[in-house]
Structure 1
Amino acid sequence: MVLRMNSGARKTFMGVRLRRLREERGLTQVALARLLEISPSYLNQIEQNQRPLTVPVLLRISAALGVDVQRFSDDDEARLVADLRETLGGMAEPVALAEVRELAANMPAVARALLALDRRWREAEERADALAARLGEDRGAAPFAAPMPYEEVRDFFYARHNHVAELDDLAERLFEAWTLQPGRTADGLAARLAQVHGVRVVRDEPEGAGGGAEGEGAPLRIFDPAARVLRLSPLLEPGQQAFQLATQLAFLEAGEQIDRLAAGAGFRSEQAGALTRIGLANYFAGALVLPYRRFLEAAEGLRYDIDRLGRRFGVGFETVCHRLSTLQRPDARGVPFFFVRVDRAGNISKRQSATDFHFSRVGGTCPLWNVYEAFAQPGRILTQLARMPDGRTYLWIARSVTHGRGGYGEPEKRFAIGLGCDLHHAARLVYAKGLKLDDPEAPTPIGAGCKVCDRPACPQRAFPPVGVATAADENRSRFEPYAAA
């Protein structure tokens, strides 16, 4: 297990987290100091952030109190910093990055409360916009009420670092119990459906998909519960067939667990709960087709070579990337990845994170990000070292994928897949070969979207950051790239 306690040479001060943990356990400073075999004065200095939390003391805390050392990782702090910078970016009085980091490190509960208040304010604004649109009024903004359930679902997975242990463990046990073989799971899953659930699998054109079963919008999977028939689209490759079969089995074999997870999330809308059930079923399917330990061992052995992993397990590029972003089991962690799928217009249709990388929910993403270059070089894997405004550097892998839907003249779905990780993990990936990982000038400066990016000299800036548009005239000349045209 890799524990990242520091970013660069920065000391790790975790006094507030340690004090909160102590108070949750009902311990005094003297009692905890005795358990950790340190002096009460030393413990007091740690809690007051006068002394850093060292690795030996952290390991004693883990042993004495039975807590995961990742609780003291700075990844959660980095997520809070990124979210706070976006939330506070539009304030009339700028909030310095140092103050934001201090708030995230020493008062994380207050920071999360601020984010919750901001989220509720945005939802109220979105509901007002939607109501104004229905009444024929113009509040100066388009309605955003419809995507709100999707935001809730993304937050559900984001809070879990894109790892759902209950479903992952169950899928792995079932893979072994059913004696499935990596890369050849479709037949075994179909046999399970038939023998245990009485479901017959038919691989032909689904009925009732108007305009031709292979046309635009035709479903990939149709289940008739009365007839106990599961119809799969003939367009599916073997790996895609296995995934669809596993998704159907998710509802039949893990339906109780999926319902419990969705019901316990406290969603505000029924639609968010329904979408989460689908997301959890897809998660279970990926975990069943690509069982955790087998897949992690293969990934480590092949240095995370996506194409070779795809051939070994019989699945496509996108499926491998999505699964790589979920390998965060506490006792067997893979590289923490951020996974994203975008179209040419910059619409993000999938976004999953096992790390702290953050893209804005406001105003698009960064055109300097290599995921957009992937459309210009179809099928080729592109690599990029990219540095965010907060100084963090990432290795990004991007490639375009095409989802064929039918015959001649019918449009294809084309996306770009991005998979990124923090620079300190880059050496574990085959894609780091030939890159200047130690060169501070090598990374491309990118941002989380123009509205929240504070790089004034960026040649691709489309509009100023939130709050800059009303600045004095003498400051506006810095943003000529978007003002000229």
Structure 2
Amino acid sequence: MSEQKLFAGHAVRRIRRANGLTQGAMADALAISASYLNLIERNQRPLTATLLLKLAQSYDFDPRTLTGTTPGGGVEAIRRRLSDPMFADLSVDRTQVEEWIAASPDAAEAFARAFDRLSGGSHGAAGTLQGGASIEPESIASARREIERWRNHFADLDSQAENLADELRLNNADLYGAITERLRVKHQLSIRILPFDVMPDRLRRLDLHARQLQLSELLDPASRTFAAALQLGMLEAKAEVEALVSGASFTERAGERLYRRHLHSYFAAAVMMPYARFLRACEATGYDLILLQRRFGAGFEHVVHRLTTLQRVGQRGLPFFMLRIDRAGQSSKRYAGASASPLVETDRRCPLWHVHNVFARPGTLLPHLVELEDKSRWFTLSRTVHPQTAVSGGVEAEFAICLGIDAKLAAPLAAARGWDLGDAAATPIGLGCPACTRSDCPQRSAPPAGRVLVFNERERGLSPFAFDQQA
């Protein structure tokens, strides 16, 4: 195991207190000094992999919890909550928030939960609308928090799916045919494709009386394979999925069911795109989305989502994030994975970001280099998708799928060839007008939250809203 640095002082303190230990007693057990442990708990020293092993051997806990979400979703999530107008008269800077989380992690988490409950949603995980509730319901937010706690990588599911995929390939090179045969022989289930007029309001249905998995004729081959793999996973990975669900400790039923559905879909994608083979193909093709679709018989959205999950220890892929939005900018799917990108964590998006432009160019993959106010740069690829639910005369749904990565890591991408990712001009964007303090943006639709509007009848700037630069 490498000596990778990890700052997890709040988690170490929680373990120590849960075991009723003083800093001196825990330091003796770990063969380090009490002063060094004190620095670790205050996030002034990293927790190395070697020390992490000692902790895991000495105390009964899952090491993966140390890399989970920090209290309240972390510093930036707490700061987004504090940007609410009710706190406009307070001057709480980043340093104060960092010190608060380090010194009183449980208090920071309590504040975050109370604020989210009062504001009607999960501000830290999703962001809230100024002066209103979060777009994202708590059931969805709670499921997404658990997914992000694992960074959308479930090693046990990946391993089982990989073994199953190898076994299926031995019997039939055609994955759909192999899954169909396994469902028939091992589970006494047949697959039947039904006409739209027979099953007009469903894409998939399990009829246990007839022992049939019934699929709509609207589904294309990739979606049929995914649906068949999903059903196989529900039967053969049930114990592993339920272990993850029970370990999540959901307080309400809807979030639990959404999380379970995500895990089943994760398993299905892992069967279609087995981890090691998929990662090798990614690296060989420069993460070429079209080639990956063709090679694994998967849909565009399947491939993009799969790219956010490649975090196996010793075999990590690039840390991508994924976002799916509609024309109104509402997100229906978003995963930060290991990217930690703030572009995922807000309900509002900047209209200057080209993810919105793809609706005018359906089917076109649109690359874009953007820069946030903190000077971080992100390289994104966006394209429209059309779920297979429409028939002639019906409503055709359309979404924009965005795949993004830190621009410093984007050089291996085939889509980034020819781009100057470091020095070239990037489009300056924000996290929605209420959170953006760029004063020269002509696209601005609202002033930043907590800033005082400034009026001068004799002048007119680029933006329709002039505001005090000091919070």
Shared fold (TM-score greater than 0.5)? yes
- Give the secondary structure class of the aligned counterpart of 1:304: coil
- Does 1:88 find its partner at 2:82? yes
Cα pair distance change 1:3/1:305, threshold 3 Å = farther
How far off its partner does 1:165 sit?
A: 2.7
How far off its partner does 1:27 sit?
A: 7.8
Counterpart for residue 192 of structure 2:
202
- Does 1:431 find its partner at 2:431? no
How far off its partner does 1:310 sit?
A: 0.9
Cα pair distance change 1:360/1:428, threshold 3 Å = closer
Residues 101-137 of structure 1, C-alpha deviation per residue, up to 9 Å, x if partnerless?
A: 44445554443332222122223999xxxxxxxxxxx
Counterpart for residue 357 of structure 1:
341
Counterpart for residue 221 of structure 1:
204
Counterpart for residue 403 of structure 2:
419
Maintained 8 Å contact 2:4/2:48: no
Query: CA separation in 2, counterparts of 1:430 and 1:342?
Result: 24
Counterpart for residue 132 of structure 1:
none
How far off its partner does 1:403 sit?
A: 3.1
Cα pair distance change 1:230/1:59, threshold 3 Å = closer
How far off its partner does 1:359 sit?
A: 4.3
Aligned partner letter, 1:156: E
Cα pair distance change 1:48/1:240, threshold 3 Å = closer
- Does 1:248 find its partner at 2:231? yes
Aligned partner letter, 2:110: A
Cα pair distance change 1:106/1:483, threshold 3 Å = same
Pick the aligned partner of 1:149 from 136, 139, 144. Answer: 139
- Give the secondary structure class of the aligned counterpart of 1:421: strand
Query: CA separation in 2, counterparts of 1:163 and 1:31?
Result: 31
- Give the secondary structure class of the aligned counterpart of 1:201: strand
- Does 1:100 find its partner at 2:97? yes
Counterpart for residue 344 of structure 1:
327
- Give the secondary structure class of the aligned counterpart of 2:242: helix
- Give the secondary structure class of the aligned counterpart of 1:413: coil
How far off its partner does 1:148 sit?
A: 2.8
Query: CA separation in 1, counterparts of 2:198 and 2:240?
Result: 32
For residues 327-476 of structure 1, the aligned pairs below 5 Å read: 327-354=310-337, 355-359=339-343, 364-439=348-423, 442-468=425-451, 471=452, 473-474=454-455
Query: CA separation in 1, counterparts of 2:15 and 2:291?
Result: 44
How far off its partner does 1:194 sit?
A: 0.7
- Does 1:236 find its partner at 2:219? yes
Pick the aligned partner of 2:148 from 151, 158, 164. Answer: 158
Give the TM-score normalised by the residue count of structure 2.
0.81
Cα pair distance change 1:237/1:88, threshold 3 Å = same
Query: CA separation in 2, counterparts of 1:98 and 1:145?
Result: 29
How far off its partner does 1:313 sit?
A: 0.3
For residues 49-64 of structure 1, the aligned pairs below 5 Å read: 52-53=45-46, 58-62=48-52, 64=54
Query: CA separation in 2, counterparts of 1:178 and 1:105?
Result: 49
Query: CA separation in 1, counterparts of 2:172 and 2:316?
Result: 20
Give the TM-score normalised by the residue count of structure 1.
0.79
Maintained 8 Å contact 2:120/2:133: no
How far off its partner does 1:259 sit?
A: 3.4
Pick the aligned partner of 2:294 from 311, 320, 326. Answer: 311
Cα pair distance change 1:246/1:193, threshold 3 Å = same
Pick the aligned partner of 1:322 from 294, 299, 305. Answer: 305
Which piece of structure 1 moves more, 363-372 or 103-112? Answer: 103-112
Cα pair distance change 1:48/1:247, threshold 3 Å = closer
Which piece of structure 1 moves more, 280-289 or 372-381? Answer: 372-381
Cα pair distance change 1:311/1:161, threshold 3 Å = same
Query: CA separation in 2, counterparts of 1:200 and 1:414?
Result: 32
Query: CA separation in 2, counterparts of 1:356 and 1:64?
Result: 27
How far off its partner does 1:387 sit?
A: 2.2
Counterpart for residue 116 of structure 2:
119
- Does 1:184 find its partner at 2:184? no
Counterpart for residue 129 of structure 1:
none
Maintained 8 Å contact 2:72/2:113: no
Cα pair distance change 1:228/1:298, threshold 3 Å = same
Cα pair distance change 1:478/1:274, threshold 3 Å = farther
Query: CA separation in 1, counterparts of 2:340 and 2:321?
Result: 8
How many residue pairs match? The answer is 450
Pick the aligned partner of 2:263 from 262, 275, 280. Answer: 280
How far off its partner does 1:146 sit?
A: 8.9
Residues 63-83 of structure 1, C-alpha deviation per residue, up to 9 Å, x if partnerless?
A: 544599988879969951221
Q: CA RMSD in A?
A: 3.9
- Give the secondary structure class of the aligned counterpart of 1:178: helix
Query: CA separation in 2, counterparts of 1:51 and 1:142?
Result: 37
- Give the secondary structure class of the aligned counterpart of 1:428: coil
How far off its partner does 1:375 sit?
A: 1.8
Maintained 8 Å contact 2:119/2:134: no
Gaps of 5+ in 2: 124-129, 467-471
Maintained 8 Å contact 1:13/1:46: no
- Does 1:168 find its partner at 2:162? no
Gaps of 5+ in 1: 6-11, 127-139
Query: CA separation in 1, counterparts of 2:157 and 2:321?
Result: 20
Counterpart for residue 275 of structure 2:
292
Counterpart for residue 126 of structure 2:
none
